[in-house]
Amino acid sequence: RLLTMSHLLARPSVRSLLRGANQSRYMSVYPLKNEETIQNFNSVSNKRVLYFTASWCGPCKAMAPVYDKLSDSYPAVAFGKVDVDDQLPLSEDFAISSVPTFILFDGEKVTHRFSGADPSKLDNSVKELTELPE
Residues annotated as catalytic (active site), given as ranges: 57, 60
E strands present in 59-130: 78-83, 101-106, 109-115
Cβ proximity of 105 and 47 under 8 Å: yes
Q: Which amino acid is residue 112, in one-letter code? A: H
Phi, psi of 31 (to 5 degrees): -75, 120
For 98, which DSSP code? S
